[in-house]
Chains A and B, each alone.
Chain A
Amino acid sequence: MDVLQVKNLTKKFGTFVAVDGISLDLREGEILGLLGPNGAGKTTTIQMMLGVLTPTSGMIRYFDKNFADHKEEILEQINFSSAYTNLPWRLTVRENLTYMSYLYDIADRKARLQKMIEIFRLKEILNLEIHALSAGEKTRVNLAKALLNFPKILLLDEPTASLDPEAAKFIREFLLSERNKFNLSVVFTSHNMPEVEEVCDRVIFINKGKIISDDTPQNLAKTIDISHVELNVADGLKRTIEFCRKQNMKYRLRGRNIVVDIKENKIPDFLKQLMNKGVNYEEISIEKPTLEDYFLQIAAVKSKK
């Protein structure tokens, strides 16, 4: 069942088209990645989905209801967290969560606040003002705010930006467990591709305000046929470089290692030719294409244009 449907959503700022007729849907219990280079239109799309930016045209429907007509009812059931918005910095963590809890129709506010404090390990920082918190702590408070109203849909705009690996891991694990326990649906933007591969069931790529692909992370990665072959060359590094140059192959050096980008079906032939040239390598690793490769390809196309 689709909990969110977006049809022909467009946003123009003067003559600039930030979002250009995109259509997407979000299924119940699905984690959907919204990816794209900077300025692609991801944040603009999320803002329209939250009702804090008026679309130029198009339609947004949550739970089969038109967002424009049922805004209050729908906003009770969704929430968001972003690395780019602040909570009032002079208020303490407790005060921020308390006043926000009153903006939602929560049956037992005290119990819910207590639960959020436990889940996000906020007890120690409850009486600290927001400006005194680290980036990781602020993210935890933001997420606690986003979960206060038992949302059925969470919109997360780069929730792990500027976090240390441990804090980012906590958030990924938390999202997956919430989805499994409560069938929570999530729209997730991030520039961290391994993270998106780990968390998202499906990924939509946006570029210049348009959707250019919509598939699972694995299927998108498969559309790239370039693998990365890394060789630890014991003898013949110069010959290998020379060979790559002649064959117009992309390569980069990592100390005595060389990483060559090559089509998967050409790898046996490539290795055979190196052997013929007397190149000795001690170690070899072949990395299959990832979502990051797909992302880089899109970014490259964007910069060429």
Chain B
Amino acid sequence: MKNHRIYGMILRYMYYFKHSFDRISDTFYWPTLDLVMWGLTSVYAKSFMPQGSQIILVILSGIIFWIIIWRGQYEITVNLLEELWNRNLVNIFSSPLKFSEWVVSFIIVGVIKAIISFTFAVFMAFLLYKIKVFELGFYVIPFIISLLLTGWCVGFFVAGIILRFGSKLQTLAWSFVWVLGPFSAIYYPVSLLPEWAQIVSSALPTSYIFEGLREVIYSGRLDYSKLMMSFALNSVYLIFSLAFLKASFAKVLEKGLVKVY
């Protein structure tokens, strides 16, 4: 891998970010809207609850931490779509750029954007509701890393599908990750789900992450088994999703990169 090529692709996506109002609004508009709407709802709900309820923190931390998965996958899939819409795959892959370097550039851009969106959301949560997410302690950092990994898994999987079938399935870039939402126990415990949904939930790293985060909020204690389980599942999914993306790319090369859009 050559750093200058990875840097070149990061530049390419950051230039696009600078010029695209859609992408700037994605980074700031939706997190703000979610925080305002769900924050106010949870403030209202808290008025019916006993003193010391953590409902606001639970809801807002759910929103803020979900941003990490969403951005992680979104940057991979939307940057891929950007190449398809521009028919730019031929330009970049007729250069010495390697597939692995391209993937690494997606990951780095995803991390940068996730940090921007996460920091912005943390700041807004403090500004609007005086909620300090990092008061939860540095326990949250391993969960953040695990969430990023989940975002990449989803991103690589969806990117593989889009590469194979083209931009006619582009809606998956925005919608697919939300399918995981109900099973991820973002705002409620897994035990609240029906039995069949709990089985699905047990196969998702996100359910362990959000359950673990809630435990930190309520007891200040980190459940290592949940954290390890999320990492283990993420490692397996990461290997499969990357292999799927690589296979999709090889399949597309048989058709020709010119014909993918």
Task: Name which of B16, B89, B94, B98 has the most chain A CB atoms within 10 A of its CB.
Answer: B94
Chain A nearest CB: distance from B21 CB in Å?
Answer: 10
Contacts of B253 in A (CB 8 A): 52-54
Contact B2 A105 (CB under 8 A): yes
CB-based nearest B residue for A77: B96
Count of chain A to chain B residue pairs whose CB atoms are closer than 8 Å in the complex: 101
| B4-12, B24-32, B45-53: which lies at the interface | B4-12
Q: In the bound complex, do residue A102 and residue B8 qualify as a contact, i.e. CB atoms below 8 Å apart?
A: yes
Considering only CB atoms, which chain A residue lies closest to B20 in the complex? A90
A95 interfacial by beta-carbon distance below 8 Å? yes
Contact with A along B87-103 (1 / 0, CB 8 A): 11111111111100000
Question: Residue among B19, B88, B256 with the most chain A CB within 10 A?
Answer: B256
CB-based contact A86/B9 at 8 Å: no
> Nearest-CB distance from B189 to chain A (Å)?
44
Which residues does chain B contribute within 8 Å of A13, judged by CB atoms? 255
Interface size on A, residues (CB 8 A): 38
Indicate which residue in B9, B86, B96, B257 contacts A99 across the interface (CB closer than 8 Å).
B9
- The reply to whether B257 and A53 contact each other, CB–CB distance below 8 Å, is yes
Measured CB to CB, the nearest residue on chain A to B23 is: A90
Contact A100 B8 (CB under 8 A): yes
| Bound: A98/B10 CA distance, A | 12
A88-124 vs B, CB cutoff 8 Å, 1 = contact: the mask equals 1111100100111111110000000000000000000
Measured CB to CB, the closest approach of chain B to A150, in angstroms, equals 13
* B200 interface residue (CB < 8 Å to A): no
In the complex, how many residues of chain B place their beta carbon closer than 8 angstroms to a beta carbon of chain A?
33
Q: Is B15's CB within 8 Å of the partner chain A? A: yes
Quick check: B96 and A104 within 8 Å, CB to CB?
Answer: yes
A80 within 8 A of B: yes
Chain A contacts for B88, CB-based, 8 A: 85-88
Q: Which residue of B lies closest to A142 (CB)?
A: B91
B16→A53 contact, CB < 8 A: no
Contact between A72 and B4 (Cβ–Cβ < 8 Å)?
Answer: no
Instruction: Tell whether B223 is near chain A: CB-to-CB under 8 Å.
Output: no
CB closest chain-A residue, reference B260: A52
CB under 8 Å from chain A, chain B span 49-98: 82, 86-98
Interface string of A60-73 (1 = CB under 8 A from B): 00000000000111
A201 contacts the other chain (CB 8 A): no
B135 at the interface (CB under 8 A from A): no
A100 to B92, CA, bound (A): 8
Partner of A102, one of B7, B255, B258: B7
- Give complex CA distance A51, B206 in Å: 39
Interface residues of A in 134-167 (CB under 8 A from B): 145, 149
Q: Given the interface contacts A52-B257, A54-B253, does A99 sit within 8 Å of B90 by beta carbon?
A: no
**A44, CB-defined interface residue at 8 Å:** yes
A53's nearest neighbour on chain B, judged by CB, is: B256
In the complex, A129 has a CB within 8 A of chain B: yes
B254 within 8 Å of A by Cβ?
yes
A71–B101 Cα gap in the complex (Å)? Answer: 14
Partner of B91, one of A73, A87, A92, A95: A87
Q: Which residue of A lies closest to B8 (CB)?
A: A102
Which partner residue on chain A sits nearest B83 by CB separation? A88
10 residue pairs from A and B, CB less than 8 Å apart: A75-B94, A85-B87, A86-B86, A87-B91, A91-B19, A95-B15, A102-B4, A102-B9, A103-B95, A104-B96
List the 10 closest pairs (A to B, CB-CB), nearest first. A102-B8, A53-B256, A103-B95, A99-B12, A52-B257, A50-B94, A75-B96, A95-B15, A99-B11, A90-B19
